[in-house]
Amino acid sequence: MSRHPWWKDAVIYQVYPRSFCDSNGDGLGDIPGIISKLDYLKELGIDAIWLSPVFKSPQDDNGYDISDYQDIDPMFGTLADMDALIQEAKKRGIRIIMDLVLSHSSDEHRWFQAAKQSRDDPYHDFYIWRDGEPGTPPNDLQSAFGGSAWEWVPEVGQFYFHRFSKKQPDLNWENPKMRRALYAMIRWWADRGIGGFRLDVVDLFGKIPDQKILENGPKLHDYLREMRREAFTAENLVTVGEAWSATPAIARKYSNPDGSELSMVFQFEHIVLDQQPGGEKWDLAPLPLVQLKQVIRRWQKELEGTGWNSLFLENHDLPRIVSRWGDDGRYRVESAKMLAMLLFGLQGTPYIYQGQELGMTNARYPLEDYRDIETLGMHRQRKALGHSEEDILRSIHAKSRDNARTPMQWSGEKNGGFTTGTPWLKVNPNYPQINAEQQVGDPDSIFTFYQTLIRLRKTNPVFRDGTFRLLLADHEDIFAYTRTTDRAQLLIVCNFHGKQIENPLETAEKAIACNYSGESVPGKLRPYEARVYLR
Ligand code: TEU
């Protein structure tokens, strides 16, 4: 056996089930649909699928509000379908990672239904309750989707805390019975053959709302070590936490190589660079490339040998990267490939969000076509604050979570081949030009480029082991770095802009991958040109 855990060599693919593939024509993706696309994923070369939540849920936040952790929502299929997915994926060497939402449940979970009946109910203390008077919440903490984070329940004469929608009451991690119930549920899934877990908003587990401590509460890492011991008992699980507040020092705890907490965390320091300092994601700003390089360098260096990075540019909460940091017009193909190379050259485990491998783009819809609770909440709030409709729509087009949630574009057929019915969210009208059918097997496609990058990572240990060094730190257009072991070195050179520029790193060596075919232009980097050299 290798001395490295499998996930250090793995590439993980995120499926957003609602938007992936609809097998029964109801306009919603489902588990049989995912099974029907496993061969596609196998061909891409990925090792594991992170499934956004498919548990039973009233879908107030598209499944991030779970009403039964041990059942599948009928819109996605049945437990038998889930077992079939695990088995069919396994046949193809693909593991399934489930998305555990443990900071809160749905208000329709039987625990909460019982909890809100009486203060004496044993489940009451599974949630966070505070006394008070109706209309006067315990403090001014706000829900991430707008409005107070406290909701009054007359039956018990108390407020409950909800960081997200009021249909997402926060679980009380102080309660050991509550924690044990979650751990038993996790072991039950691992026994069914689940390969790992993604932990939604893991940094909120130790919150103390009374002191307005939400992230990084004092007991957070105790809880995680306990969870590691009592829940993650199966062998070879991969665990990844979502931690918006992580710094490298904190991430070293989460991803300590001694395995005492998690395998790795998603951190977001690079993701929040293109917004106004002190503002929200909706307050748009251009990407400062020099700063992006500093942030990535810091994470690469500070976790080297002492932790592990997850590498991502997209997920179900973020816009499409080619529209965000590339050019989704003239240089869509080149810039999508450049961003892929930039990411895949780094140390860590890369994640691909569905459609990223096709260079899918942001949707630019009129307001009535958006479905996301966060987007609609922000629209309401900013309207009330007097922002213009035009400004709000500009922010939505750039940053709405629905940008990533438009249905997967499989073919040039009606609805991009996603459904024979009416899709729950409109398909991006560019599906005749951007779809999987067209790209699989085309040597110049974005899909094939991802395939190549995955293959390169699998055959060259320097991708896993090489130490990072940033080159040309102050250059305004080029992101370049090396990765070095005592046996090999990678040089990655990316032109981040849509113009041809001088290449100060010109070399006579032959690139092992490049996003342009044919001869290079001596001494120059073409628009968005990206090359990787192996020496
Ligand atoms: O997201 C965590 C989170 O903090 C989000 O509010 C995030 O800031 C926002 O989506 C960025 O625009 C996780 C899930 O990934 C998200 O889909 C859920 O809505 C949220 O938790 C609640 O479970």
83 is catalytic: no
Token pair listed for 149: 């984070």
What is the sign, positive or negative, of the torsion defined by CA atoms of 122, 128, 133, 135? negative
Residue 249, H or E segment: helix 248-254
The answer to whether the CB of 435 falls within 8 A of the CB of 496 is no
Q: Which of 205, 284, 317 to mutate to test the pocket of ligand 1 (most atoms within 8 A of CB)?
A: 317
**Does the beta carbon of 101 sit less than 6 angstroms from any atom of ligand 1?**
yes
Query: Where do the H-state alpha helices sit in 45-78?
Result: none
Q: What is the spatial distance between Cα 93 and Cα 47, in angstroms, rounded to a whole number?
A: 7
DSSP 8-state symbol, 497 = S
Q: Which of 55, 171, 201 most suits a substitution to test ligand 1, by most atoms within 8 Å of the C-beta?
A: 201
Mean pLDDT estimate for the chain: 97
Q: Which of 207, 238, 231 is nearest to 220 (CA)?
A: 207
For 164, list phi and psi in degrees, rounded to 5.
Answer: -110, -140
* pLDDT tens digit sequence for 395-450: 999 999 999 999 999 999 999 999 999 999 999 999 999 999 999 999 999 999 99
Ligand 1 center to 15 CA (angstroms): 16
- Listed in sequence order, the residues at least 6 apart from 356 whose beta carbon sits closer than 8 Å to its beta carbon are 313, 314, 320, 321, 336, 340
Q: Does the beta carbon of 512 lie inside 6 Å of ligand 1?
A: no
pLDDT digits (tens, 9 = 90+) for 444-454: 999 999 999 99
Separation of CA 387 and ligand 1 centre (Å): 24
Query: Does the pLDDT of residue 174 top 50, yes or no?
Result: yes
- Distance of alpha carbon 311 from alpha carbon 269, whole angstroms: 12
- Per-residue pLDDT of 194-221, as tens digits, reads 999 999 999 999 999 999 999 999 999 9
- Each residue of 324-343: pLDDT tens digit? 999 999 999 999 999 999 99
Q: Which residue is associated with the tokens 């877990």?
A: 197
Q: Do 325 and 318 contact (CB within 8 A), yes or no?
A: no
Cross-strand bridge partners of residue 97: 50, 196
Q: Is 486 exposed, middle or buried (0-12, 13-18, 19+ CB in 10 A)?
A: exposed
Nearest CA-CA partner of 22 in 418, 355, 428? 418
Separation of alpha carbons 198 and 215, rounded Å: 17
Q: Exactly one of 99, 200, 314, 327 is catalytic; which is it? A: 200
pLDDT, position 508: 92
pLDDT digits (tens, 9 = 90+) for 357-366: 999 999 999 9
The number of residues making up the chain comes to: 535
Cα 274 from Cα 287, distance rounded (Å): 5
Is pLDDT of 517 > 80?
Answer: yes
Q: Partners of 171 in the beta sheet?
A: 127
Token pair listed for 370: 């958006």
The pLDDT score that the predictor gives to residue 1 is: 46
Residue of 242, 261, 317, 372 with catalytic role: 242
Cβ of residue 61 lying under 6 Å from some atom of ligand 1: yes
Instruction: With CA atoms as reference, report the closest residue to 102 among 220, 209, 210.
Output: 220
Kindly tell me if the per-residue pLDDT of 2 is higher than 80: no
- Confidence (pTM): 0.97
State CA 497 to chain mean position distance: 25
Q: What is the pLDDT of residues 302-324, one digit of tens each?
A: 999 999 999 999 999 999 999 99
Report the share of the chain in percent with pLDDT over 90: 99
- Which parts of 322-390 are beta strand (E)? 349-353
Q: Is 344 in the pocket of ligand 1 (CB under 6 A)?
A: no
Please give the helix or strand (H or E) that residue 405 lies within, else none.
helix 402-405
Q: Evaluate: CB of 270 within 6 angstroms of ligand 1.
A: no
Residue 518, pLDDT > 90, answer: no
pLDDT, one tens digit per residue, over 54-70 is 999 999 999 999 999 99
Could you give the 3-state DSSP secondary structure of residue 73? coil
pLDDT over 70, % of the chain:
100
Q: What six digits make up the tokens of 473?
A: 């730190």
Q: How many whole angstroms from 317 Cα to the centroid of ligand 1?
A: 6
pLDDT at 240 over 50: yes
Residue 151 a catalytic site member: no
